[in-house]
């Protein structure tokens, strides 16, 4: 029997509405041994600017893969939805 080492995937969702969040990036951590953890980062919308004077909502989702080869399991946990507001555009 093989036991997985609990790989984690963190997905960040963001949008202008609490009900229309889209994934904007993900981080994965996989502990292949007790000595090292590898981190991977992928931001899908690099360079995209936020609009001035706009409220944005964001949420983090964590997936944990665990179990055995015979019975793989996955647990998903979502954070609360948080918000922030950008400032006014002061460029001339």
- Give residue-wise pLDDT tens across range 27-78: 776 644 433 444 444 444 555 678 889 999 999 999 887 777 787 788 899 9
Whole-model pTM?
0.70
Is the backbone of residue 60 left (phi > 0), alpha (psi -120 to 50) or beta? beta
8-14 mean pLDDT: 87
The number of CA neighbours under 13 Å toward the Cβ of 58 is 12
Give, rounded to a whole angstrom, the gap between the first and last alpha carbons of the chain. Answer: 65
User: Higher-confidence residue: 85 or 73?
Assistant: 85
**Residue 85 in this model has a pLDDT that exceeds 90:** yes
The Cα-based distances of 72 to 1, 66, 78, 80, 82 in angstroms read 12, 6, 20, 27, 32
């Amino acid at each position: 029997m093989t036991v997985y080492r609990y790989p984690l995937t963190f997905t960040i969702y963001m949008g202008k509405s609490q009900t229309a969040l889209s994934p904007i990036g993900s981080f994965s951590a996989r502990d292949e041994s007790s000595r090292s953890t590898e981190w991977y980062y992928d931001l899908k919308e690099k360079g995209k600017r936020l609009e001035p004077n706009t409220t944005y909502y964001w949420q983090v989702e964590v997936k944990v893969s665990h179990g055995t080869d015979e019975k793989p399991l996955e647990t998903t946990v979502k954070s609360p939805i948080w918000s922030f507001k950008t400032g006014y555009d002061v460029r001339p």
